[in-house]
Amino acid sequence: MSPDLQPGFRFDWSYTVPARASVPQLYHDTGFCLDMPDVLATGYLVGMMELACVNGIMPFMDWPREQSLGTMVRFSHFAPTPPGMTLRIEGELLEVDGRRLLFRVQAWDGVDRICEGTHERHVIDRSRFNAKVASKAAAAAEAGLA
């Protein structure tokens, strides 16, 4: 991670909401969700808020060796967005503590502000992280858990 990545860094990202991001489409295998409104699912929105942060800091990473993973989300989703609308997501890096990054993030859909909150990410070394995941998968398989 570049030492140039400092609190106060701001970024923005745009994303057009696909039909697959609506509650009935995203959770098509859960019967009661098929009757829910055809609007952007909160779970999908959380992912877009995370990806906006990843996209924002990517120029400061030694990609793909160095990446970041989300470790905390604290968002309020307070307005519906139908598929086809374009989100504008803005963020600001609030804190850098070693490999921990804390962001303030907000999103608009062109009509309303739809979401705001904070998000924490940790910078990882991809190869070391993947080795840990492989070890855990092997242990789970050995225990009959996978």
List the domains of the chain with CATH numbers.
9-143 (3.10.129.10)
> Cα–Cα distance between 131 and 9 in angstroms, integer?
32
Residues annotated in the binding site for CoA, as ranges?
70
Q: Which two tokens stand for residue 104?
A: 């303030």
50 is catalytic: yes
- Count of C-beta atoms within a 10 Å radius of residue 93: 21
Given the residues 28, 30, 42, 118, the one annotated as active site: 42
Instruction: Walk along the chain (146 residues) and give the pLDDT tens digit of each residue.
Output: 899 999 999 999 999 999 999 998 888 888 887 888 899 999 999 999 999 999 999 999 999 999 999 999 999 999 999 999 999 999 999 999 999 999 999 999 999 999 999 999 999 999 999 999 999 999 999 999 97
DSSP 104-144: EEEEE-SSSEEEEEEEEEEEEEHHHHHHHHHHHHHHHHHTT
- The alpha carbon of 89 is separated from its chain's Cα centroid by a whole number of angstroms, namely 11
Residue ranges for the binding site? 70, 121
**What's the token pair of residue 73?**
């989300």
Q: What is the pLDDT of residue 50?
A: 97
| Conformational region of residue 84, where left means phi above 0, alpha means psi within -120 to 50, and beta covers everything else | left
- Tell me, yes or no, if 77 is annotated catalytic: yes
DSSP 8-state assignment for residue 18: P
Of the candidates 30, 50, 92, 142, the residue annotated as catalytic is: 50
CB of 93 within 8 A of CB of 102? yes
| Cβ count within 10 A of residue 18 | 13
Name the nearest CA neighbour of 61 among 104, 125, 11. Answer: 125
pLDDT of 36? 84
Is residue 42 flagged as an active site residue? yes
- Asked if 111 contacts 89 with a C-beta cutoff of 8 angstroms, the reply is no
Contact 65, 125 (CB under 8 A): yes
